[in-house]
Each structure stands twice: as C-alpha cells, then as structure tokens.
Structure 1
Amino acid sequence: MRKFFKLNAIAFFSVFSLFLLSCNDDDNNAIEEEMTAELTIVETAQATPALSLLVEALIQADAGLVEVLSGDGPFTVFAPTDDAFAALLESLGNDYNSLEDFDTPEEKELLAKVLTYHVVAGTAALSNDLMQDMRIETFQGENVSVDLNGGVFIGDATNTAAEVIIRDVATTNGVVHVIDKVLLPQEVINALNPPTQNIVETAQATPALSLLVEALIQADAGLVEVLSGDGPFTVFAPTDDAFAALLETLGDNYNSLEDFDTVEEKELLAKILTYHVVSGIAAYATNLTDGMMIATVQSEQVTINLNGGVFIGDATDTDAQVIIANVATTNGVVHVINKILLPQEVLDALQN
C-alpha cells in the first residue's frame, strides 16, 4: 500500500478544498449538447469528453461497475467532471498522477467505494425531486445530503459540498447530474487517515472532554474498560461546558462530579453516561436520517433532528447540537455535543 493511506487529514482537506473547480456557462452548454436520452448512463459518459476520467475510473476499479451502470436501473448518478478527478488526484500527492496508479487490489477496492458513493440505485431522481436537507442512501451504503440554498449541492463526509453544474441529464436507465467535485464517504476518509486511538484515549487527548473522562471514572461502572473495548460504539460526547451546565442546574449539592459519591448517585451518573452510547454500530453523520430513533446502552432512545444541523433529542425539551461530527476512533465514532442528554429514567429520579 502506498503512502496514500497515511496522508495527513488536515493537509488532505485543505488541498482538496482549494481545487474545487466550477465550469462556466459555455463549458456547461458544451457538455449538455453532447448528452442524449437515447444512451445508457455509461454510454452517456463515454460520449461526453468532460466525463472521460469517470469512465476511466469505472474501468480501473475493476468491480463490474460498467456492466452495472449499463443495466436496467433505474439509477441516479452524480458524475464528477474530469476537473474534479484531476483535483482529487492532485490532493493525493505524487503517488497518484493518474487513475492507473490505483493498481493494487486494496486501491481498486477503495476506488470502487468512491465511485459507488456517487450512485443511487432504484430511482431516477430529478432535481425537482430533491428536498432541502434530504439524505439519500448510495450504492456504497452511506448517505449523501442535499442542500438547495443557492443551487443544488450534494454533501459528502467532508466539509465541502459538490455543486451540481448540469442537472437532469436523461438516459435510458436513469438520470445523471454532473458535479464539480469527487464525493468522499466516511469509509474512504477513514482509510486515507486511519485512527490510532480508541474512544477513551480520544477523550483523554481532548481537553474539552476532560469532564467526560472524569465522569466515566467517577461512575465506577466499568465504562472506561467498556469504551476501550472492541466496539463498535457511537458516542455522543458532551463538552466540559455541557457538564458544567448540568451541575449548575442540579444545585448546591453538586458542585463537581465528585459529589456523585453515593452508590445511588454513581448509578444515576452511569445511566446518564450510557444514554450517550450506542453499541454495535459506528454511526457517522452520513448514516443519520431525520427523525431516526436510536436505542442507547441505557435502553432508552435518542432522536435525530437534521433541521439546520445535526441535533440529538433526549427526554427533555431541548436538543443537544453536534458541534464536532465524525471523530473516527479505532473502536467507533465520537460526535461532540453541547448538552448532557437526559433519559426519562434519570429525570424521574431527579424529581423524586
């Protein structure tokens, strides 16, 4: 495996964002004139010079994608331009001067995952079928998101969305939307920059999560050991400010986490903490959908709200906001939130 997989995350995204390219109206018109509804998706791409690298990538991945996208469908394909592929290659460094450099089985598999993240199976979704904040499951398995503010934008697991520069290209087996950036799923980002710390180690290395670490220890319920285990886990990790806000609401008897010192109080703290943990899955933001309800280790559910951001609903009237999403770890994923989540069981105990 080349040093591609050790690429520094900050450098990758910094360079990647610098190379987002937009086509002018003349370029877009030229591409549109080359497209016809009498061709399949693959034939449409083959007939469009600005999509030549997409065709090359489909072949290079060696995963039967040409045959799949020549089949009955219907499919929706977000098709990156040659400029978008060139930007991706440049961001990957000197080991990747062309798509032919994806030549090992592992690299071909990674390229296939990138490509299938651009494909939606079972529907031909026109631009007027898309809605603000819609999450769409791709053939790769993760979701892309839709932003209709100022155009049509497709969000991936990075911080920069792709813009649809040509919409609604009809084909015999679906529809193509031409985009100005290669979309990257979280699975590929993790392969590019594999995590080295587990959930507990990640929290210990993050100053803003020091009270979370203290709470895990204070609860005296083996949670440090559990969250250092194999997982996978999804953890909604409250900041120190969130813990401070909770302590303030509890009154003078709780000036610090050390005041959870009786057996009953430690048990209550453990219930609060396990309400922030989902076991058996590493749920990245691209896997979440609006209104989704997720069972926690504590046994009650949290609710996902994607209106205007990513929010986690508990048994109170105030949602927690995810302020840092998708912190990959060796045994799951952490989403940093700005509020302590409280289950009904704890609210009932506090009111008694």
Structure 2
Amino acid sequence: MKTRTSKAIGVAVGAAAIALSVPLAVNAYAEPTTTTNTPVAEIPDPQGPKCDDFKKAVPNWKSLADVPVGKVLSAIPDISSFNAAVSGQLNPAVNIVPVLENGPFVVFAPTNDAFAALPPEQQEMLRTDPAALTKLAYYHVFLGLLGPDDVKGQRPSQEGTEVEVTGSGGDIKVNETTKVVCGGIQAQNARIYIVDKVLDPTEAPAPIGRTTASSTATSATSTTQTLPAEAPAAPAPATSPAPAAEAPIG
C-alpha cells in the first residue's frame, strides 16, 4: 500500500513539474532576440565659401532642422540685422515671422555687413516706413523647399516681383550680382541662404513667359511659355499698439 501511494505521489509531482515548465519555456522563446532601429536622415551640409564661419558661429546647426525658421534666423549672429527687419525689432509694424513659419519657403538673408552698406537714407526709410520695409522683407522670400543643387531658376517672390537664382552647390548667385555665402541651412519648413547684398525689388528681372498684345497679334502661331504662378499677396503690416525702441541696422 505504501509503495503504491508513493508511486502515485511521484507521478503527480512529476506531472505538475512538467505542467509548470511549459509556460516558462514559452515565455523564454517569446523574448525578442533583435532590436530594429529606425534610420535617422542625415542633415546635409550647407554649401558656400563662408559655411565654415557659419558652423563655428552656430555649432549646433544640425539641431536647427526641426526648429521654426524665426528661431533659426535669430540664432545666426551674422544675420541679426535681417532678423530685426523681419521680426518687428527694426519697425514694430512689420513682423513677417508668423508668415515664414507657415512655409515652405526659401529665405535669402543678407549679412549684417550687407545691411550696413545700405545708404543712410535707405536705412532711415526702412526704420520709419512700414510699407517700404514690408516690400523689401517679402522680396527676400519665395515659395519652395529647395537645397543648393535645386534652387536655381526664376520665380516670383512673396513681394510679387521676380527673383532669379543661378548656379548650384557652393556657387550660387541671386539676380546676377548677389552671392550666396552659405546656403541650404535647414529650418522647419524653410531653407535659408545667407547672401552678401540686400536684394532690391526695383532691380528684379523681367517676368518670364509673358507676351504682349502686339507680339501675340503679329505672331499668332508662336509658342509661349507657361505663365509662372502668382505669389500670394503679402499681408498688410500689423499695427503695433505701442512702438518699441528702434533696433539699429548692422
């Protein structure tokens, strides 16, 4: 009797041990054996003859790729005058940063030396005439999200008149005479190109792809180019309830 009881107990214990070991084995094999990492897109280097200076002045430039363009403009020391002109610091009635942050936009940002080279009377006009400053600010912006190898071409600026970009990579010019010293700086919904002159909308190139009534009448069979899309109208300057202290140019 004792022998049969001992055998029965032994069988029961063995069965229980087997039953308990099964879930443990399943759990062990359920553990993941590998970890998959999502690749992170590399931020391309900006291009231009003075990009080394830019990188020294803004060592965290790669981290700006996901930062709103207004904060990126304010983070670059060499374009503080342009930042003042577009953010309400130069003239409290003109702040286009909220528009820029609803891009995509290409932004041409003149250096501080470029603003300092403007005639004194023009500098004074930009401080005191909101319409003139708004016109100039929007002429430095056009729709797009283009890197240094793709930015070339002629397009309407946000001011309405055209901007012509030639060249590519580290050798880019705007309206033939203005050089990009460092371009393709990434911001959220924008690409920034630092230029060595303040762009002048009165020197804008003629629109492309447009025909006059006389030329159409005399050459009905001629082929015309597609008209470029009109730039959105620039919003009217906001009126500040209380004027702020004037920021110097340069």
Q: TM-score, normalised by structure 2?
A: 0.58
Unpaired runs of 5+ residues, structure 2, are 1-47, 226-250
Letter of the 1:47 counterpart: A
Contact 2:51 2:182 in 1 (8 A): no
Q: Is the 8 A contact 1:124 1:174 kept in 2?
A: yes
Matched with 2:141 is 119
State the Cα deviation string for residues 87-115 of structure 1 (Å, max 9, x = none).
12xxx13x46xx566343xx221121111
Whether the aligned pair in 2 keeps the contact of 1:32 and 1:166 (CA below 8 Å) is no
8 Å Cα contact 2:78-2:111 kept in structure 1: yes
8 A contact 2:114–2:198 mirrored in 1:
yes
Relative distance call for 1:139 and 1:101 in structure 2 (3 A) is: closer
Q: Indicate the residue corresponding to 1:68 in structure 2.
A: 99
1:294–1:303: 8 Å Cα contact kept in structure 2? no
Secondary structure of 1:33's counterpart equals coil
**What letter is aligned with 1:184?**
D
Residue of structure 2 aligned with 1:110, choices 132, 141, 159? 132
Match of 1:167 in 2: 183
Aligned to 1:33, which of 59, 72, 97?
Answer: 59
Q: Identify the residue that residue 76 of structure 2 maps to in structure 1.
A: 48
Equivalence for 1:84: 114
Structure 2 CA distance for partners of 1:296 and 1:178, relative to 1, 3 Å? same
Contact 2:51–2:181 (Cα < 8 Å) also in 1: no
Q: 1:30-80, CA deviations, whole angstroms, 9 ceiling, x for partnerless residues?
A: 2453532121111101111111101111113423312212x3211110111
Q: CA deviation at 1:165?
A: 1.1
**Letter of the 2:134 counterpart:** A
**Hey, what's the Cα distance between the residues in 2 that align with 1:125 and 1:25?**
17
Identity of paired residues, percent? 28
1:87 to 1:136, Cα distance in 2 relative to 1, 3 A: same
SS at match of 2:102: coil
CA RMSD of aligned residues (A): 2.9
Structure number having the greater strand percentage: 1
Opposite residue 300 of structure 1, the aligned amino acid is T
Superimposed CA distance per residue, residues 127-171 of structure 1 (whole angstroms, 9 cap, x where no aligned partner)? 21134xx2111000111112218810010xxxx621111111111
Aligned CA distance change for structure 1 residues 31 and 113 (closer, same or farther; 3 Å)? farther
- Structure number with greater Rg is 2
Report which structure shows greater RCO (CA 8 Å, sep ≥6): 2
In structure 2, C-alpha distance between the alignment counterparts of 1:23 and 1:125, rounded to whole Å: 19
Residue by residue, what CA displacement relative to the aligned partner does 1:314-335 show, whole Å, maximum 9, x if unpaired? Answer: xxxxxxxxxxxxxxxxxxxxxx
Aligned counterpart, 1:181: 197
Deviation at 1:119, TM superposition (A): 0.3
Runs of 4+ in 1 over 6 A off after TM superposition: 302-305
- State whether residues 109 and 195 of structure 2, in contact with CA within 8 Å, keep that contact through their aligned partners in structure 1: yes
Instruction: Please tell me whether residue 300 in structure 1 is matched to residue 210 in structure 2.
Output: no
Q: Distance in 1 between matches of 2:113 and 2:105?
A: 23
- Summarize the Cα distance change of 1:297–1:50 in structure 2 as closer, same or farther, 3 Å threshold: same
Q: How does 1:219-298 map to 2 (within 5 A)?
A: 286-289=205-208, 291-296=209-214
